[in-house]
């Protein structure tokens, strides 16, 4: 039986007989010589060194993960990782070499540590199989050299130039896609273990995530710029074509009007019927051109010319213009506006466009015998206008798309009700440019209620309400 086992048995027995104090005395007596031995002290020192090294490794990984979780630009992020590894691992060289697609070379990224001189910057062609970086990049397998200045697997010129003996090269890759390699070096020979290789591999994986995120961000920025350019081209095209259409349409409408009035000579009933159809088509096309021009101007973020004006007369004028149409279709339209309504603070021309679009829609989608009511409310800092009808209403799925350009609800298409699908998009953009709100409430078969809110002149004299609060309360 070994001496160690006998000591343990003796200590255990003493514990039963003498209790805790006695057993502690015997344990110290038995182990005194062993505790004082030089071998145990050395073992404890070595264990402490290993624990310190492991602690540094964990700290390095933690800092690297934090860096990867919130990267800024690619150069700054990789330089941050270099700084973390240098600080915690006490190495003499840390560098990322990423692939340059154009030259097919591995090129040292800015921020490398230990490459202060320009001639030390590493750039190597993928054709050079003698380079450890190239082999690691192609195979995806790490490389370790205990003495890089004498290792045949290393281009010794660079190892001597950097004054490096120990070297680790790990791939920077993610899901089979290689971005480059990470090189870590020390001036001490045989300074790295497998644990160091594993640690550097984990850090390189985080670097690969950062690189991929950077590439995706750059692609998104590029795509966004292309979309903006295409949008500008589209706006210019729409504006140009609309202007070109405007003049001939005006001419056609004028000639058809003269012919219908008999100014050119008598026309038969059949001729009149066809000319009325043609005139209606010209008017629809003219309205579409006007809408296209409006949306093009509004999407260029034009400025609204804010003025004080009375909203009630403006609404009355629009309703009066539609009265003949409403009467002919056996529909009623009414305005209810308070006498103490404050003046609006908005662009009168564009607010009239909003009111015209909403009232026209209400008339269009209300069946004969229906009723449209236009109600105005004083909300203090703002004015709310509600246009309510008892028409065909909207399906629920349409409400989330109704302000999109050219969108038309399914029931409007099924009933073949004319329209461009631009009126609500234009109205929403106008109200947004005023800092107001526009929304719809609707039930299929029961009608629609359109609300729009704009500021009144009380905006500057209200009791401490700010712009956002006012709009939400309305």
225 by Cβ neighbours in 10 Å (0-12 / 13-18 / 19+) ranks as: exposed
Alpha helices per DSSP H over 261-393: 269-299, 311-328, 348-364
Q: What percent of the chain has pLDDT over 70?
A: 79
Q: Is the pLDDT of residue 88 over 80?
A: no
pLDDT of residue 266: 86
- C-alpha to C-alpha distances, 437 to 31, 282, 284, 382, 451, nearest whole angstrom: 84, 33, 28, 11, 8
Q: With contact defined as beta carbons under 8 Å apart, do 322 and 363 qualify?
A: yes
Q: Is the pLDDT of residue 473 over 60?
A: no
Q: Is the pLDDT of residue 334 over 90?
A: yes
The 10s digit of each residue's pLDDT in 171-180 is 998 888 889 9
Residue whose token pair is 């909403």: 358
Q: What percent of the chain has pLDDT over 90?
A: 33
- The CA distance from 219 to 216, in Å, is 5
Q: With contact defined as beta carbons under 8 Å apart, do 60 and 68 qualify?
A: no
CATH numbers and ranges of domains, the chain: 70-218 (3.30.450.40), 224-299 (1.10.287.130), 307-473 (3.30.565.10)
The 10s digit of each residue's pLDDT in 106-163 is 998 888 888 776 656 778 899 998 899 999 999 999 999 999 998 988 888 888 888 8
- The CA distance from 201 to 433, in Å, is 53
Under the banding of pLDDT at 50, 70 and 90, the label for residue 96 is very high
Least confident of 20-29, 199-208, 283-292, 349-358: 20-29
pLDDT top residue among 245 and 185: 185
- The CA distance from 254 to 209, in Å, is 66
pLDDT of residue 260: 85
- Both tokens of residue 370? 């229906």
Averaged pLDDT, 276-288: 82
Least confident of 252-256, 340-344, 369-373, 417-421: 417-421
Averaged pLDDT, 57-76: 56
Residues with Cβ < 8 Å from 305, sequence gap 6 or more? 347, 349
Mean pLDDT of the residues in the chain? 80
Cα dihedral 407→409→410→415 (10° resolution): -110
pLDDT of residue 14: 43
Residue whose token pair is 């350019």: 229
Q: Is the pLDDT of residue 5 over 80?
A: no
Averaged pLDDT, 54-73: 52
pLDDT of residue 141: 93
pLDDT of residue 67: 52
Q: With contact defined as beta carbons under 8 Å apart, do 459 and 471 qualify?
A: no
Averaged pLDDT, 297-322: 89
How many residues belong to the chain? 474
- The CA distance from 135 to 142, in Å, is 9
The 10s digit of each residue's pLDDT in 400-458 is 899 988 888 887 766 667 777 888 999 999 999 999 999 999 988 899 999 999 999 98
pLDDT of residue 429: 93
pLDDT of residue 414: 65
Residue whose token pair is 């206008």: 385
């Amino acid at each position: 039986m070994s001496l160690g086992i006998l000591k343990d048995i003796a200590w255990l027995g003493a514990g039963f007989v003498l209790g805790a104090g006695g057993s502690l005395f015997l344990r110290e007596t038995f182990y005194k010589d062993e505790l004082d031995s030089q071998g145990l002290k050395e073992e404890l020192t070595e264990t402490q060194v290993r624990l310190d090294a492991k602690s540094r490794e964990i700290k390095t990984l933690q800092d690297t993960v934090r860096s990867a979780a919130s990267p800024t630009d690619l150069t700054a992020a990789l330089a941050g990782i270099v700084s973390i590894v240098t600080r915690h691992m006490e190495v003499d060289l840390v560098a990322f070499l990423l692939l340059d697609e154009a030259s097919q070379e591995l090129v040292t990224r800015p921020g490398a540590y230990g490459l202060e001189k320009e001639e030390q910057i590493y750039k190597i062609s993928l054709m050079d199989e003698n380079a450890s970086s190239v082999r690691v990049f192609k195979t995806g397998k790490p490389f370790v050299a205990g003495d890089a200045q004498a290792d045949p697997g290393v281009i010794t010129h660079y190892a001597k130039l950097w004054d490096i003996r120990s070297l680790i090269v790990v791939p920077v890759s993610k899901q089979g896609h290689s971005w480059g390699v990470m090189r870590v070096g020390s001036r001490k020979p045989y300074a790295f273990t497998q644990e160091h290789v594993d640690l550097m591999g984990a850090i390189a994986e985080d670097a690969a995530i950062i690189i991929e995120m950077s590439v995706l961000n750059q692609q998104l920025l590029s795509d966004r710029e292309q979309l903006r350019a295409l949008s500008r081209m589209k706006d210019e095209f729409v504006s140009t074509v609309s202007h070109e259409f405007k003049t001939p349409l005006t001419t056609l409408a004028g000639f058809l009007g003269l012919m219908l009035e008999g100014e050119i000579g008598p026309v038969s009933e059949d001729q009149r019927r066809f000319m009325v159809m043609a005139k209606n088509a010209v008017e629809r096309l003219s309205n579409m051109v006007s809408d296209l021009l409006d949306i093009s101007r509004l999407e260029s973020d034009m400025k609204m010319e804010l003025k004080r004006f009375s909203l009630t007369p403006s609404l009355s004028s629009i309703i009066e213009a539609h009265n003949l149409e409403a009467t002919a279709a056996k529909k009623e339209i009414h305005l209810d506006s308070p006498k103490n309504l404050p003046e609006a603070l908005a662009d009168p021309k564009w607010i009239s466009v909003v009111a015209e679009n909403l009232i026209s829609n209400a008339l269009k989608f209300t069946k004969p015998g229906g009723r449209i009511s236009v109600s105005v409310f004083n909300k203090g800092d703002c004015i709310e206008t509600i246009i309510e009808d008892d028409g065909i209403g909207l399906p629920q799925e349409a409400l989330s798309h109704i302000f999109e350009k050219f969108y038309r609800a399914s029931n409007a298409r099924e009933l073949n009700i004319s329209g461009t699908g631009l009126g609500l998009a234009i109205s929403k953009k106008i109200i947004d440019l005023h800092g107001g709100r526009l929304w719809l409430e609707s039930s299929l078969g029961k009608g629609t209620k359109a609300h729009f809110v704009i500021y009144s002149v009380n905006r500057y004299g209200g009791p401490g309400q700010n712009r956002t609060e006012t709009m939400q309360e309305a």
